[in-house]
Amino acid sequence: MDTQILYYFAQPATIVRRYETYLVQDGIFIISMMTTTRTASIWRNLQRRYAVLDQTKVVNQHGFGWRIKVLSQGAPPVDAAPV
């Protein structure tokens, strides 16, 4: 799944949920999205359902950023920091 298109959907979390059936047991999602107010909202919604195993942010020479996160189907930690 090309995750750079998630922010074009009305319900991005629903799209990601569709792909859960294709994951093996203990499988992960690796999702990358440009850093915007829209994608910050998408990340918050995804983090309600998935645990963040790792994350990083990449910024290019023009100041545009992308957040990349590794998500698992396990329950997100109660004290998970948002976005």
How many angstroms separate the Cα of 52 from the Cα of each of 8, 25, 63, 74? 22, 16, 25, 9
Asked if 45 and 69 touch (Cβ cutoff 8 Å), the reply is no
In angstroms, rounded to a whole number, what is the distance separating the alpha carbons of residues 48 and 2?
A: 21
Domain boundaries, the chain: 3-72
| Whether domain 3-72 has CATH 3.30.1370 | yes
Q: Taking the model in full, what pTM does it have?
A: 0.83
DSSP H or E run through 66: strand 65-72
pLDDT digits (tens, 9 = 90+) for 11-35: 999 999 999 999 998 899 999 999 9
Beta bridge partners of 70: 30, 54
Residue 76 has pLDDT above 80, yes or no: no
Q: How much is the pLDDT for 5?
A: 85
